[in-house]
Amino acid sequence: MISNLQGVLSAAAKGMKKSAIRELLKLTKNPEIISFAGGLPAPETFPIEQLIEVTSEVLREDGEAALQYGSTEGDSLLREEIVQMYREKGFDISLENVMITTASQQGLDLIAKIFVDRGDKIICGLPSYLGGLQAFKNYGADLVGIEFDDAGMRADKLDEKLTELKGLNDLPKFIYIIPDFQNPAGVTMTNARRKEIIAIAKKFDLLILEDSPYKELRFEGKEQESLYVLDGEGHVINFGTFSKIFVPGFRIGWVIAHEDIVNQFVKAKQATDLCTSPFVQKVAAKYVQKGYFKENLTKTIELYREKRDIMMAAFDEFMPEGVSWTKPEGGLFLFITLPEYMDSEILFHKALEKKVAFVVGNVFHCNNEGKNTMRINFSYTPKDLTKIGVQRLAEVIKTEMR
């Protein structure tokens, strides 16, 4: 090993931090712990038998191409399927508007690589997805948080902040929005709020990143329009992924954007990984073509609805007065707010002693606030353990309450 590793690190690498969540998640690996911590899909939704069938078919019918390098844009069969899926949702797109990514986390890295110079501002929700914040910070972004209410990011606060930044000649590179069943808050942005946010982006001539891994996981209520569709003028870059609606292990996601922006993504991705695995893309494309994707997604939604209901009922039964939580109409998460004086990091360690885990809420706040909040995942835990887990968590909270 060289004597001075620190001395040769780039400024960017010196600023990189390991994800707080990933470090905490290591502590929750003990099988006795009921973990509401990770954002993991339920393994019982993984279509293993169908994938054995589809994988053999791909190898037999298209093996050479599947095992060869592929194009950076992505497998055209898969892109065609994605174009088709999104046209059904009102997206006016063609093949040129779609690039496959090695799941959405790569999209988050690439968007920062493309747009961010050190010190550039990016607007994020308070709270926002930690992996996004981490990707942006690695490129030296200066994250500016905007408060939430029940309808998502507050448009009045966004407008105020952008007016201030414009005065300083320091407008952000883009606005990061997770509109559907947000990670971590479980909140869905209303159509009215989406329109307000788009109008503000247009007023200041800004791009919006619409990161939407959970949109298809709706259990009830009315589907809200995609910001990409509501805008229709190329201000929105939309990210999708198979991670939460099919399997995360495939690492397949996609960027949908104006052709000029997709071209920038292609250039940035080329130097990152040349292409996403053609083999995995072909298996995914065939899986969708055969109708298995829609069939399995319906079952996943039913299972998660049931898991959400079990969790909500347990919350109603056990949580003490003074604790509030979001009631998501879909997705994987709900968000707890404790009385102001409480600190969820202290609770985290007490909860581990009682064999239950969650994620502390302040890691999702780019301004380091939210100490009295926590994220709870309901998709992963087996149904028969949810109630016991919530009971344990409620006991820990009660003991720490004044």
Binding site for ligand PLP (CB under 6 A): 39, 103-105, 129, 131-132, 178, 183, 211, 213, 241, 243, 248, 253
CB of residue 312 vs ligand PLP: minimum separation in angstroms?
21
CB 325 within 8 A of CB 336: yes
Nearer residue to ligand PLP within complex by CB, 40 or 385: 40
CB 36 within 8 A of CB 394: no
CB of residue 64 vs ligand PLP: minimum separation in angstroms?
28
Question: Residue 81 is inside which H or E element, if any?
Answer: helix 76-87
CB of residue 211 vs ligand PLP: minimum separation in angstroms?
5
Q: Is the peptide bond before 127 cis (omega within 30 degrees of 0)?
A: yes
Query: With b meaning 16 or more CB within 10 Å and e meaning fewer, what string describes 196-231?
Result: bbbebbeeeebbbbbbbbbbbbbbeeeebebbbbbb
Strands 207-211 and 174-177: what pairing? parallel
CB of residue 276 vs ligand PLP: minimum separation in angstroms?
11
Nearer residue to ligand PLP within complex by CB, 47 or 131: 131
Nearer residue to ligand PLP within complex by CB, 248 or 322: 248
CB of residue 377 vs ligand PLP: minimum separation in angstroms?
10
| Residue given tokens 């049931």 in the structure block | 306
Nearer residue to ligand PLP within complex by CB, 325 or 380: 380
d(CA 356, CA 343): 16
Nearer residue to ligand PLP within complex by CB, 243 or 337: 243
Nearer residue to ligand PLP within complex by CB, 116 or 394: 116
CB of residue 398 vs ligand PLP: minimum separation in angstroms?
30
Question: Residue 8 is inside which H or E element, if any?
Answer: helix 5-8
Amino acid code (one letter) for 371: K
Angle of helix 48-67 relative to helix 278-289, nearest 10 degrees?
A: 130
With helix as H, strand as E and coil as C, how does 150-210 read? CCEECHHHHHHHHHHHHHCCCCCCEEEECCCCCCCCCCCCCHHHHHHHHHHHHHCCCEEEE
Nearer residue to ligand PLP within complex by CB, 130 or 311: 130
CB of residue 132 vs ligand PLP: minimum separation in angstroms?
6
